[in-house]
Chains A and B, each alone.
Chain A
Amino acid sequence: MRYLAVHFLQGALLFLVVSLLSFTFLELAPGDFFQEMRLNPQISPNTVARLRAQYAIDRPLPVRYGHWLASALRGDLGFSFAYGSPVTPLLLVRARNTLLLTGTATLLAWAWALPLGAFCAARPGGWLDRACSMMTTTLLAIPELLLGLCFLLVGVRTGWFPAGGMVSARFEDFNRWQQVTDLLWHLVLPVVVLVLGSLPILLRHVRAALLEVLDSPFIRAAFGHGISRRRILFRHALPAAINPLVSLFGFSLGALLSGSLLAEVIMSWPGLGPLLLEAVLARDIYVVVGAVTFSTIFLVAGMALGDLLLFASDPRIRSEALI
Chain B
Amino acid sequence: MLTSSPKSEPLLRIEGLTKTYSQGRWWEKRFEAKALDGVDLALQTGKTLALVGRSGSGKTTLAMCVAMLEKPDSGKLWFDGCDLSSLSMSERAMLRPRIQLVFQDSAAALPARFTAAEIIEEPIVIQHHHLGSANIAKIKDRSALVRELMAKVGLPPGWANRRPRQFSGGERQRLAIARALALQPSLLILDEPFTGLDLSVRGQIVNLLLALQADLSLTYLYISHDLDLVQHFSDTVAVMDRGKIVEQASVTDLFRSPMRAETYPLLRQALSACRCAHSHG
Contacts and interface: CB of A to CB of B under 8 A. Distances in A.
Chain B interface: which size bin?
20 to 34
Contacts of A67: none
B103 interface: yes
Interface residues of A, number: 20
A221 B101 contact: yes
Nearest to B64: A220
A30 interface: no
Contact of B96 (A217, A225, A236, A240): A225
Nearest to B93: A226
A217 B126 contact: no
Contact of A225 (B104, B108, B110, B126): B126
Contact of B113 (A217, A227, A231, A315): A315
B69 interface: yes
B61 to A, nearest CB: 13
B122 to A, nearest CB: 7
A218 B110 contact: yes
Nearest to B105: A217
Interface in A204-261: 216-218, 220-228, 231, 236, 239-240
Contacts of A218: 108-112
B183 A217 contact: no
Nearest to A223: B69
B109 A217 contact: yes
Interface string B99-129: 1110111001111110000000011001100
Given A217-B105, A220-B69, A221-B103, A226 B126 contact: yes
A228 B126 CA distance: 8
Nearest to A314: B113
Contacts of A226: 93, 96-97, 123, 126-127, 183
B84 interface: no
A316 interface: yes
B163 interface: yes
A239 B101 CA distance: 23
Contacts of A314: 113
B275 interface: no
A224 B111 contact: no
Contact of A224 (B69, B105, B108, B165): B69
Interface string A86-108: 00000000000000000000000
Contacts of A223: 69
Contacts of B113: 239-240, 314-316
A315 B163 contact: yes
B67 interface: yes
A232 to B, nearest CB: 10
A216 B100 CA distance: 17
Nearest to A231: B126
Contacts of A227: 122-123, 126
Interface string A295-323: 00000000000000000001110010000
Nearest to B115: A315
Interface centre among B93, B112, B165, by most A CB within 10 Å?
B112
Nearest to B96: A226
B114 to A, nearest CB: 8
A223 B113 CA distance: 17
Nearest to B189: A224
B112 A316 contact: yes
B122 A316 contact: no
Interface in B144-188: 163, 165-166, 176, 179, 183
Contact of A240 (B97, B112, B122, B176): B112
B183 A225 contact: yes
A143 B41 CA distance: 61
A217 B103 contact: yes
B108 A316 contact: no
Contact of A316 (B67, B101, B110, B165): B165
Contacts of A239: 111, 113
Those 5 A-B pairs whose CB atoms lie nearest each other, nearest first: A226-B96, A225-B123, A217-B109, A217-B108, A224-B101
Given A226-B126, A319-B163, 8 more contacts: A217-B103, A217-B108, A221-B109, A222-B122, A224-B68, A225-B179, A226-B127, A316-B163
9 contacts: A216-B108, A217-B109, A218-B110, A225-B122, A225-B126, A239-B111, A316-B112, A316-B165, A319-B166
